[in-house]
Amino acid sequence: MRVYTIASGKGGTGKTTIALNVATALATLGKKTLVMDCDVGMANLELLVDFGGHRRTLHDVLAGDAEIDDAIYKGPGGVDIVPGGLSIRGFQKSNPDLLRRVMDDLPGKYDFVIIDAASGLSKEVIVPLALADEVILVVNPEIPSIVDALKTKVIAETAGSRVESAILNRVVGEKTELTRDKISELLEVPILETIPEDANVRKAAAMKIPLVLWKPEAPAARSFKRIAAKLAGERLPEEDVAAARARARAERLISRLMRTVLGTGRKRQGDGRREVP
């Protein structure tokens, strides 16, 4: 079981949307996947997806009032979901340290666990960071986002976790945006994927359906699926198709070049054989 914590230094970077869609994409690849909303203070995963009514949440589990199996629900695409809970009272009763016990109950049940961590530097952030096999930072192409992500990176490494990549989200392509290479240099980690600003993300959220299912060919959906494929160590079928098309284009180009070269050579040879009258 691989545990990935999706983290950012500030709210609004899009990490919950990424966590949901990457987890759903992993499930569609045939991987047993659980996505957990560990932002117990400002949980909103359940606002982005419809998985039927529920009575138990991570709040109940972290308060000692329920077992983790009681708070797992089947979501669209076959992904399992643990909602964080929306009540203030549930948040006040939650003990983030109990998340360690929760994670001890999961090995053998899942191939991947995707944790949507809270933003900031509180205790409820540190525990999900410490439990990850790898932390993936989510940043926007702007200085405040990068500065806050650097703080999260320091906290994660202090907690003993590895931060080996970042996701650059909501890229428009304006000249004022930091470039992918510059962000990678500042964070000192490679960029796992660049996700473009895509109006379909908001529309899918309004429909409460993961974008990778609602409109799988949307630009952002393609990025989510590429992230999932990279985590799973697999190639997407459309990547194989794209590679085959690229090879076919290259073969046609080579064929045209060869015909041009050979045609010129034959003409020259023919000119050499002509007799002078």
**Is beta strand 163-171 parallel, antiparallel or unpaired with respect to 134-139?**
parallel
Residue whose tokens read 């666990």: 113
- What is the CATH classification number for the domain harbouring 147? 3.40.50.300
**Three-class DSSP category at 169:** strand
Residue 84 CA to residue 82 CA, distance in Å, equals 7
Task: Tell me the CA distances in angstroms from 25 to 215, 224, 225, 232, one per residue in order.
Answer: 12, 7, 6, 10
**Three-class DSSP category at 107:** strand
Same domain, 256 and 214: no
Task: Tell me the CA distances in angstroms from 31 to 18, 36, 112, 232, one per residue in order.
Answer: 17, 16, 7, 8
The pLDDT of residue 272 is 52
Tens place of pLDDT for every residue, the chain, 277 residues? Answer: 999 999 998 889 999 999 999 999 999 999 999 999 998 878 889 899 988 777 899 999 998 999 999 999 999 999 999 998 766 566 667 788 899 999 998 989 999 999 999 987 777 789 999 999 999 999 999 999 999 999 999 999 999 999 999 999 999 999 999 999 999 999 999 999 999 999 999 999 999 999 999 999 999 999 999 999 999 999 876 665 566 567 667 777 887 887 787 765 555 555 555 444 4
Task: Tell me the CA distances in angstroms from 125 to 32, 117, 145, 230, one per residue in order.
Answer: 25, 6, 17, 25
**Three-class DSSP category at 57:** coil
Residue 71 CA to residue 65 CA, distance in Å, equals 11
Strand ranges in the chain using DSSP code E only, listed in sequence order: 2-7, 33-37, 73-74, 80-82, 112-116, 134-139, 163-171, 191-196
Could you tell me where the DSSP H helices lie in the chain? 15-28, 58-62, 88-93, 99-104, 123-130, 143-158, 180-187, 199-207, 211-214, 219-232, 237-273
Query: Residue 29 belongs to what domain range?
Result: 2-234
- Looking at residue 142, its amino acid is E
Same domain, 272 and 188: no
Q: By the 8 A CB rule, do 214 and 193 touch? A: no
DSSP 80: E
**Is beta strand 112-116 parallel, antiparallel or unpaired with respect to 163-171?**
unpaired
**What are residue 74's phi and psi, to 5 degrees?**
-80, 125
Same domain, 143 and 244: no
Same domain, 252 and 221: no
Same domain, 204 and 243: no
Number of domains in the chain: 2
Same domain, 249 and 144: no
Task: Tell me the CA distances in angstroms from 233 to 47, 52, 60, 226, 236, one per residue in order.
Answer: 30, 32, 35, 10, 10
Same domain, 147 and 257: no
22 burial via Cβ count (<10 Å: 0-12, 13-18, 19+): buried
Q: By the 8 A CB rule, do 94 and 40 touch? A: yes
Same domain, 241 and 228: no
Nearest Cα to 83, choosing from 101, 102, 103, 61? 61
Same domain, 158 and 268: no
